[in-house]
Amino acid sequence: MSRKKPIELPSIAELEAEISRRKHRQTQHYLLRNAVYALITVAALTALVSVIFIPVLRTYGNSMAPTIVEGDIVAVIKSDEAEIGDVIAFKYNNKNFIKRVIALGGSLVDIDENGNVLVDGQLLPEPYLEEKSFGNGDVEFPFQVPDGQYFVLGDNRITSADSRNSIMGCVSPEDMMGRVLFCVWPFDRFGTIH
């Protein structure tokens, strides 16, 4: 017949240490769970704000170079209004485009053979251009911009498909996503867009 060992009861100090360890573990789980909930909430709110108020777009192509180049990620402030010189994002054929507003509705746009742009007879200063070009559009100049619309051009005039082509034409406020305000990626190009 085998003898049973007597059960050893833990000491008060051991019980207090175990209780303290379990409370510490519960506190860690509580803090971790709340941190995860907070991160999920912040991510959801950030996504909501970016979709509703400040969409973020990745650029494809170099029609806006050197201002915006392929792969840049830009933030857009939702708006259907723009001024001359603003860089805007808009939808055309279910695709996103980014171009610069050159003239507003009612203005007369002319582009000479050297690529100089005149709006209502005034030469448009364009410090953002590396090279001027007439381009390959089919629009006849001088061109009257329809009321309520925007005449847009890419900063890389040689390759840009823009309002110089009757297929794309001018941009209406209904097609605008908003004004492109700054580049958020890559970090070496981070900053406001002029």
Which of the following is catalytic: 4, 5, 11, 63? Answer: 63
Cβ(151)–Cβ(83) under 8 Å? no
Which of the following is catalytic: 5, 11, 20, 99? Answer: 99
For residue 30 the two structure tokens come to 């509580």
Q: What is the DSSP string of 12-75?
A: HHHHHHHHHHHHHHHHHHHHHHHHHHHHHHHHHHHHHHHHHT--EEE--SSTTTTTS-TT-EEE
Cβ(183)–Cβ(193) under 8 Å? yes
Where do the DSSP E strands lie in 73-134? Answer: 73-78, 87-92, 95-104, 108-111, 117-119, 122-123
Rounded distance between C-alpha atoms, residue 179 and residue 157, angstroms: 20
Q: Is 63 a catalytic residue?
A: yes
Q: Which of 146, 149, 118, 147 is nearest to 132 (CA)?
A: 118
Within the chain, what is the greatest distance between any pair of CA atoms? 116
> CA 159 → CA 65, 113, 116, 119, distances in Å?
10, 16, 16, 22
Q: Is 5 a catalytic residue?
A: no
Active site residues: 63, 99
